[in-house]
Structure formats: structure tokens, C-alpha cells
Structure 1
Amino acid sequence: MTNYLIAFNDEWVPDLTEDDTRDRGAAARAVIAEMRDAGVFIFSDGALDASTVVCSVDPSSGSPVFTDGPYVETKEHLGGFAVINVPDDAQARYWAGRIAVAVGWPQEVHRFPHSVGRTADTESATRT
């Protein structure tokens, strides 16, 4: 099993009415519930944007320099994500497609090639 990140940038989200936001949120939560039932769900969060950035860290001086807020040169911000654990790319694509259709905007799929810190114990614990 491999961990995958399904994510979208805040800029990809169209302007929505309150009703649209509520409906799409409910649709996304339904897909997350299906992921839980299928035993592939690990973690997710949404409604992220520039306002949720705590700080940025610049190591170029040899020591970490912390600045409140987003990195100045960043034009895009993470809008939301889900981390899943599935057998292959096809399953990751399936769940990303389900989320994309539910919310109505693009998603990216990233494979975590080296899921450090994940053990069989934590894998089974996330599925209960």
C-alpha cells in the first residue's frame, strides 16, 4: 500500500454562493465517508488559504529565519487535501476523480514514495 496526497490550490476554486459552498462541502464529506468505509482514508483538511499560513521558514542564511504569514513569492496556496493509503495509482486516481467531481474543481495526485514513520500499527489504527 502506498500513501497519496490528493490536493487542490485555493486559486482553482471558483467564486461560489453560500448554498454552492454548503452543497459542495456536503458532497466532499460524503466522498470522505466512502474513503473511511473503504479503509483508505488517513487524513484531510480543507478551507485552507493564505489566511491559514502560520509562517514561512527561510534557511538561506544557514539558520532558520521565520516570517509570519506565507512566503512572499508564493502566488498559489494550498486549498485543501486528503491523504489516502491505496494499493496503486489507479485507486488514487479513482478517489481523486470522486473528489474532483464532488467539489467541481481540479485536484492533483502526488505519490509519497517514502512514507517515513508509517508502521503497520499506525496503518491499522487509521482504519478503525
Structure 2
Amino acid sequence: MTEYLIYFNQQWVGDHTEEWFRGRGPLAMAVVNEMKAAGVYVFAGGLEEDGPVYSADATSGSLMISDGPYVETKEFLGGFALVDAADDEAAKMWAGKLAEACGWPQEVRRFKPQPQTG
């Protein structure tokens, strides 16, 4: 099995009514429950859009922790799911289910294999 990150940028969500969003929650939770039942679920969650953001940067040789995003950008992560799927096709299938349930696009990326520890 391979771990995959399925995620979306907040800007992909679009403008919708509160009623529309409330209707999507149960659909998304149904997909999460389906992932759990299939044994591929590792973690899933949405990020707070207006919550605090912190950056850690050690590129200067000393660690600096600061408030706010490291890079000013128009796009930012809105939420993600981590699944342990059999292959790319299975990961794409779960991304498709999430895209349909949430009502906005999802992107899939494979994690590099973990190094073996001795």
C-alpha cells in the first residue's frame, strides 16, 4: 500500500451559501466513513480559513518563528485527506469521491516511500 495526499486549495471551493455548505458536510463525512470501512483512511480534515498561521524558517542558520504565512500567495491549503491506497487508480477513485461530495476539485499526490529503519 502507498500513502497519498488528497487535497484542495481554499480558492477552488468557490462562493456558495451556508445552506449549500451544510448540505455538503454529510456527503463528505459519508466518504470519510467509506474510507474507514475500506481500511484506507489515515487522516482527513479541513483547515481554519481565518485561524492563526505560523512559519518556521532555519535557512539563515538560526531558527525564526513568525506569525503569518512564509510566502504571500493567493492560494492556500483548505483541507486534505491522507489515504493508504493500493495504487494510483484507487487513490484517484477516492479523490473523485471527495470531489463529488465536497463539490470542488481535489488533487492527488503520492508520498515518497519511507526509508527503512534498522
Cα deviation, 1:82-110, whole Å, max 9, x if unaligned, reads 00001100000000000001111111101
Unaligned runs of 5+ in 2: none
1:52 corresponds in structure 2 to 51
Distance, in Å, in 1 between the alignment partners of 2:47 and 2:12 is: 12
**Aligned residue for 1:63?**
62
- Distance between the aligned counterparts of 1:116 and 1:30, measured in 2? 34
* More deviation, 75-84/51-60: 51-60
Decide whether aligned partners of structure 1 residues 57 and 5 sit closer, same or farther in structure 2, where only a CA change above 3 A counts: same
2:82 aligned partner: 83
What's the offset of the Cα at 1:71?
A: 1.9
Alpha-carbon distance change, 115 to 43 in structure 1, aligned in 2, over 3 angstroms: farther
- Structure 1 pair 74–59 and aligned structure 2 pair: CA distance change class (3 A): farther
- The answer to which of 55-64 and 12-21 deviates more is 55-64
Could you state the TM-score of these two structures normalised by the residue count of structure 1? 0.83
Give structure 1 regions of 4+ aligned residues with deviation exceeding 3 angstroms. none
Residue pairs, 1:1-128, within 5 angstroms:
1-49=1-49, 51-115=50-114
Q: What is the CA-CA distance between 1:3 and the residue it aligns to?
A: 0.3
May I ask how many residue pairs the two structures share in their alignment? 116
Secondary structure at the aligned position of 2:80 is classed as strand
